Structure formats: structure tokens, C-alpha cells
Amino acid sequence: MSGIALVRKPGPRIAEGIVTNIRREPVDAALAADQHDAYVAALEANGWRPVHVEAADELPDAPFVEDTVVACAGLAVLTRPGAPERRPEVGSVAALVRELGVRSVRVTAPGTLDGGDVLQVGGTVYVGRSARTNDEGIGQLAALLPERRVVPVELRGVLHLKSAVTALPDGTLIGDPARVDLPGLLEPVEEAGAHVVLLGGERILMAASAPQTAAMLETRGFIVTMVDISEFEKLEGCVTCLSVLII
């Protein structure tokens, strides 16, 4: 078993989730629930033990659990989401983290930080300066992670840093240079190809909407598991958004 995967089931109001940079489309709540089950099953099949955060059906964006906590070397940094309507999501995540015995700290006002803006690559933590994450939040994160090098990153036209770039198991950054200025980016074929979840070893999780990028990465020696998350993509979600992996 690789570790714990924090997840939260989508509720019946998921179609009301916040949309910022794309046109709103109808979301099928039942299909989203099925897709979430398949996503969780894929994590479990790759050795991660799913642990479900308490349901929050009144909070449409609650399944995007990544934004509520950053897991780093045995520490859980509980965030203060930039969208005020998402801040109630953090309480139940905090309770579960305590139940799991993981040491936790908090980002506090006036800082804002969404976990989707935090990309950890070795000893470096890239943090997107976005509509959801401010300089105070970035500064607090740096203070909470003194052993890491925290690097602010400017974004263009995307919700979160990990909407534009993630990292492969070998540390290579894969992302869209039109959205983010980081050196040495490997460009994906599809936009969704910029989103990978590291499952351990050479294994990665990707969205079914990026088949050509998946094929490209397989030629580089990575083992790709693909999942259909189309209903979450309609809400600017990606494969990283739906879980927090704790080793």
C-alpha cells in the first residue's frame, strides 16, 4: 500500500460549482458520482487506501478536496480557500486529518491559499499567484515549510497552477508555456495532458481526455492509468483536484 488517498464524494448540487475561466455547461450529477467511484477505484488499484471525507452535499465544490489541504512530509497544511464560499469545506477535512493522526497547521486571514496552486517537486514548492492564492498565503506557506524552497509563479488564464502544469515521476514539468513561465516544460498534446497524479514509481494517473499525451508519456517509460472525469472538467477540475495523497 502506497499511502492514504483523501477523497470526497460529489453531492447532488455539483452542477452549481464555481466556473471562472470556461463557459458553464450542464453537469450530470449521477454520471459525476459514477466517474468519481471509478477514479477512487483507480487509486485503490494502484495501492492507495481511499479515505472519504464526510459528505458535504450543501457545498457544490466539495469533491475538489485538493484545495483544502496540502500534504507535505507528514504535515497537513489546512488552507484558506480564496473563494469564501469554499472555506466551509475545510472543517471536515481538518477533523479527518486529526482522526488520521497527521500533524496539521493552518493558513490564516488575510492569507488565501488553494491547494490546487501548490506543486511539490523534490525540495521545491511552486505556488501559483492566482485569484485564489495571494502573496500573504504564499508567505505563510513558506514559513510553515522552512525546509522547502517556495517559488511563486505567475499564471495566465487558468484557475490554479496545477491547471497549467504538474510534474512527472522523474521531476520533469509538463505544462502549457502559454499559461505559465517555468523553464524546461514538456508540452502536452492536449490541455488535459498537463495534469498527472503521481501514483508511485513510474505510475501516473491521467484523464481520458488526453489520450495522445498519455501515449507520448508511455513512450517515455511511464505507466499510465486513465480515468474519465468529463463532468468534473466542466467545472475546471482535473485529476489532481479530486484527491490528496498522504504517504
Q: Please give the positions annotated as active site.
A: 160, 241
Q: Which helix (H) or strand (E) holds 120?
A: strand 118-121
- Produce one character per residue of 212-225: b if its CB has 16 or more CB atoms within 10 Å, e if not: ebbebbeeeebebb
Scanning the structure block, which residue is given the C-alpha cell 490541455? 191
Q: Is 14 helix (H, G, I), strand (E, B) or coil?
A: helix
What length is written for the chain?
Answer: 247
**Across-strand partners of 153?**
128
**Dihedral (C-alpha) 193, 195, 201, 203: value to the nearest 10 degrees?**
-50
Dist CA 200 CA 4 (whole Å): 12
- Long-range Cβ contacts of 172-181 (<8 Å, 24+ apart): 173/121, 174/213, 174/217, 179/155, 180/128, 180/153, 180/154, 180/155, 180/156, 181/153, 181/154
Dist CA 95 CA 100 (whole Å): 9
